[in-house]
Amino acid sequence: MGGHAPGRELEDLGASARAGLVRRIEASGAWAADPAWREAFAAVPRHLFVPYYYVAVAGGYERRWGESPDPRARERWIRGAYEDVPLATRLRDGELLSSSSQPSLMADMLTVLDVREGHTVLEIGAGTGYNAALLCHRLGDDKVTSVDLDPEITESARRHLAAAGHHPVVVTGDGARGVPERAPFDRIIATCALNSVPRAWLAQSRPGGRILLPLATGLLALTVTDASHAEGRFLHTPAYFVPLRGTGRAAEPYQLGGVPRRAREDDLFRFLLALTRGSLDPEEALSLWEQEGRPQRERYGITVSGAREWAWLDDPEGPYAWPLPS
């Protein structure tokens, strides 16, 4: 790690902290459907992917750095690297540009991705490279492709991956366009939020492939039929990610004047608002939400069919359906 590299004691602390993180994720049940992911999380050292990160403090952020000359600061850094929390890794003018996702959420997503030996995976949003390293450990470096718009992010991800002994293909480009030269893919996973499903991803998926992406503060798992058709439901898990850049800015939040506070503060109501943006105003959304018993995320889904894309409640052909922006 260069300079003031952590000594053996710090490495032992990292190994102990990593084992503790694995135990916490395992206790959550994240790997019940696919225990093989436990080995990946136990083997891949997260601290190699966050040589520095930022922790929110009063009035701003505190930088934690693995090469700090202060041994107590290095200890705080490595302990923090194995907390089950997202870590801010890139800031610009106070705006979060990139982060290392919460490990337990990553475990949930990778399990739902349902990979098998021999599968090829496209990751949208390289981040620190940690998620790609977990995929490489499970599938092999040659099966993993990661893309990000920011050349600084892709370059640092390559360095972190190399430090951990992995060399997948890391591409600098617009994630919404995929990586056609590496297609077709068995699985596509996005680690950044979108407002709709990029059609290029369907075209670059094998029939029967799976696409997992954050959308409207939820996680959507789509099964691809062919280059023009896919359908799937949301998971129960809430998910908040940095928006995908390169395809337009994120939507502005709703003004919720007149909506009761209990609804304004309810995560499931805000999910419905985000999902039906432009189709329902807050009052209409509130009426539907209460009428249908405050539905959980998994009652909602998305269908992509040719040029059409719509969200729905309970049934793709049912009475509650809303077009999504293309």
Report, as residue numbers or ranges, the catalytic residues.
Answer: 98
Nearest to 229, CA basis, from 306, 300, 302: 306
φ, ψ (nearest 5 deg) of residue 281 = -85, 170
Q: Are 137 and 121 in contact (CB under 8 A)?
A: no
Q: Are 76 and 64 in contact (CB under 8 A)?
A: yes
DSSP letters for 263-312: HHT-HHHHHHHHHTTTTS-HHHHHHHHHHTTS--GGGEEEEEETTEEEEE
**If DSSP codes are grouped into helix, strand and coil, which group holds residue 133?**
helix
DSSP 65: E
CB-count exposure of residue 264 (10 Å: 0-12, 13-18, 19+): middle
Query: Cα(56)–Cα(66) distance, rounded to whole angstroms?
Result: 17
The helix or strand, by DSSP H or E, that contains position 215, with its residue range, turns out to be: strand 205-215
Reply yes or no: is the peptide bond before residue 184 cis, omega within 30 of 0.
yes
The helix or strand, by DSSP H or E, that contains position 213, with its residue range, turns out to be: strand 205-215
CB-count exposure of residue 102 (10 Å: 0-12, 13-18, 19+): middle
Nearest to 44, CA basis, from 155, 152, 161: 161
CA angle in degrees (0–180, nearest 5) for 71-160-177: 145
